[in-house]
Structure 1
Amino acid sequence: MSRLIDVSCWNSGIDYDAVKASGIDSVIIRAGYGREVCQKDSQFENHYAGARAAGMNIGVYWYSYADSVQDAITEAEACLECIAGKQFELPIYFDMEENWQTALGRATLTTMATAFCQTIEEAGYRAGVYSNVNWFTNFLDYNRLAAEYSIWLAQWGSSSYAYDCDIWQYADDGSVPGIDGAVDMNRVINEDIINGSGSGGGQKIYFDISMPYLAKSGYISTGEEVKTVQLLLNAMHYGDLEVDGIFGSATDQAVKRFQKTRGLDQDGIVGQDTWRYLLK
């Protein structure tokens, strides 16, 4: 399991070359908090530039103060504006841990997390939820969220983690070369979460067979990704497709057969729901 740090404005002046030389090659940066773009983390740009120059894998998190589903969507929109134009190898995480939010109840909080993540995914990023064991046990529907999104679990002072997760935050008092003071420490449990695969549905792929070589706005659609779909369909015995990267009639029919068995619209389009079922 590789190690990962997460940072915010409370960690300034980091020498990212020294961090990477110590064996840590991934970082999750706080992009901001709340519902306003003006609440962008004051050190986000510095952290991003330093980590990118050092060749580190980067993800971000957004600290939530949302008090409703609509507010969670507004927070996602603010996050998207703050991170626009940047590249990430790790998901965008919704950080839920404010004690007063627990009064909203498990169902509402889970729907808020889903709304944030859906908004992030609709913009073409992968999404996930960060919280602690208490929240995932009592205030969030862990099973529902883990089935759809990446899970980043905070559990300090333990020799292991209570829930399956992609990333385990195991300490808040780590010491790392290149960083003055304590820093949050994490282990990457699922290495596939880096660079576009793993939990949270992996790289989202959209295909419209009426325009097989064009991307749906904001998404990727290339021959290599069609090959991925063909390989998955073959592995599940929905066809004996030639893995050629061409979304032709045979692939179209195989997709429709797969959609029928999953109770999906049989439209031949590998959209969000079809892609998630393919990866289960």
Structure 2
Amino acid sequence: MGVTQQPTTREAQGTYREERAEQFIVFLHHECTKDKLLNELMSADKAALFLVADVEEQTTDMAPATQAFIDTLKAKGWKGDLYSGHDTYKPLDMDKVKADFVWIPRYGSNKPACPCDLWQYTETGRLVSSNVDLNKLTGSKLLSYFTGGSLMYSKPLNR
């Protein structure tokens, strides 16, 4: 990443935070073949705490393929996690996938109707001078689960 200290300007701080976020999560889109997945895993940031299967559209028999994807992630030492659209979760049979956590985007005030650990409730949150996605913990996992214990919280936030 090349960032060794936090910059001082507001715009540079936003860029720094975005680069630091890459240490916590790397999105790998599901349409990767197994060979592409293994290549992506080789180049994934080793500091990433988890990788997320982003499944939002039909490209194959989704549930078995997604499970195989997540199982491959876990076999390589990462948490195997699922990000799926609220409207595609059930139709794509994502409820049959066993993931370490489930992350569902549903913008507005209505919580997802399906069980999830993270609810992405807006794409227009503000951080410095940029719009960002904002999420709430909705399951039983503490914030430290997602940050590797680097933040000192004893209870879930925004419950």
Q: What does the per-residue CA deviation read over 1:89-114, in whole Å, with 9 as the maximum and x for residues that have no partner?
A: 3x21011123xx25x3xxx1011111
| 1:128–1:150 contact (8 Å) kept in structure 2 | yes
Correspondence 1:119 to 2:77: no
Residue in 2 aligned with 1:15? 13
Residues 76, 150 of structure 1: alpha-carbon distance in 2 compared, 3 angstrom cutoff: farther
Decide which of 193, 214, 218 is 2:145's aligned counterpart.
193
Which protein has the bigger strand share?
A: 2
Partners of 2:83 and 2:102 within 8 A in 1: yes
Matches within 5 A, 1:28-177: 47=19, 50-51=20-21, 58-66=24-32, 71=33, 73-84=34-45, 86-89=46-49, 91-98=50-57, 101=58, 104=60, 108-142=61-95, 144-145=96-97, 147-177=98-128
**Which sits farther off after the overlay, 73-82 or 133-142?**
73-82
> 1:161–1:141: structure 2 CA closer, same or farther, 3 Å change rule?
closer
Report the Cα offset of residue 120 of structure 1.
0.8
**For 1:64 and 1:141, how far apart are their aligned partners in 2?**
12
- Aligned equivalents of 2:52, 2:65: Cα separation in 1: 13
Q: Which runs of 5+ in 2 are unaligned?
A: 1-10, 150-159
Partners of 2:30 and 2:69 within 8 A in 1: no
Q: Size of the alignment, in residue pairs?
A: 135
1:229-268 to structure 2, matched below 5 A, reads none
Contact map agreement 1:109 1:139 (CA 8 A) in 2: yes
Contact kept in structure 1, 2:51 and 2:80, CA below 8 Å: yes
Equivalent residue letter for 2:123: D
Q: TM-score, normalised by structure 2?
A: 0.70
Query: What is the alpha-carbon distance in structure 2 between the residues aligned to residue 133 and residue 94 of structure 1?
Result: 15
Tell me, in whole angstroms, the C-alpha distance in 2 between the residues paired with 1:131 and 1:61: 12
Describe the SS at the equivalent of 1:113. helix
Deviates more, 1:109-118 or 1:184-193: 184-193
Distance in 1, matches of 2:36 and 2:118, equals 23
| Separation (CA, whole Å) in 1 of partners of 2:13 and 2:30 | 28
If the length of structure 1 is used for normalisation, what is the TM-score?
Answer: 0.42
Distance 2:12 2:137 in 1: 21
Identical aligned residues as a percent: 21
> Could you say which structure has the larger radius of gyration?
1
Q: 2:71 and 2:93 mapped to 1: Cα distance?
A: 16
- Which structure's residues are more often helix, by fraction? 1
Deviations 1:179-211 (A, max 9, x none): x33211112333253228xxxxxxxxxxxxxxx
What is the rounded CA distance, in whole Å, between the counterparts of 1:18 and 1:93 in structure 2? 22
